[in-house]
Amino acid sequence: MILIVMGVSGAGKTRIGELIAERLGCSFVDGDEFHSAANKEKMAQGVALTDDDRWPWLAAIRAAIEEKVRAGQSLIVGCSSLKRAYRDVLRGGAQGDGTVHFVYLKGSFELLHERLATRGRHFFNPALLQSQLDTLEEPGEDEAAITVGIELTPDEIVDQVVAKLK
C-alpha cells in the first residue's frame, strides 16, 4: 500500500505521515526531499511554483513509489498533491492500479496561517499559503480520499486514518 498524506503547507503532512508510518510499521518519505534546489529557493523567496516546476518533482516522487511497489513494500509519502492532475501522476494515471491512496488534511486559512507563523527552519515562505489554497483542488468523491480535519490532535487524526484504512 502506498499512502500519500496531502494538503497545503502547515497541514501537518510530515508529522501525520511519520505517525501513520510508525503505526503501520512502514517507511515514510517527505515529498519536499524531492524538490530541486531551484524550487526550494523559489518558495523561500515567496515565489509560487508553476506546473512546469512541479512536473519533475512529481515524477521523482512517482519513481520512488514505483520502486517501493516493485519491492512489495508499503510507503507513506507527505506531498501537497494540490491538483487532481498531480494526484493522477502520483497514482500512475487517472485511474491508477489501486495501489496509491490519499489522506487529505483539511484546515482553515486561520489555523494553517497560525501554524506556519510558528514553524521554524523550513524553506516554505508563509506568504505562499493563499496561493496554495487558491491552487488546491480538493479530492473528488471518485478519488476516495480520506479527509480529516487538522483541528484534531495528531493522535486523533492518525486514529481516524488507520480506522478508515481497515
Domain layout of the chain by residue ranges: 2-165
Averaged confidence pLDDT in the chain: 91
Whole-number Å distance between alpha carbons of 26 and 106:
24
The pTM of the full predicted model, rounded to 2 decimals, is 0.91
102 has which bridge partners?
Answer: 4
* pLDDT average, residue stretch 19-41: 95
Q: Which of 97, 87, 106 is nearest to 16 (CA)?
A: 106
| pLDDT surpassing 80 at residue 79 | yes
Confidence of residue 48 (pLDDT cuts 50, 70, 90): confident
The upper half-sphere exposure of residue 138, i.e. CA atoms within 13 Å in the direction of its Cβ, equals 8
Residue 128 reports pLDDT greater than 80:
no
Class level of CATH domain 2-165 = alpha beta
Asked whether the beta carbons of 69 and 26 are under 8 A apart, the reply is: no
Cell triple for 165? 484504512
Mean pLDDT value of segment 72-80: 96
Strand arrangement of the beta sheet that strand 75-78 belongs to = 27-30, 75-78, 2-6, 100-106, 146-149
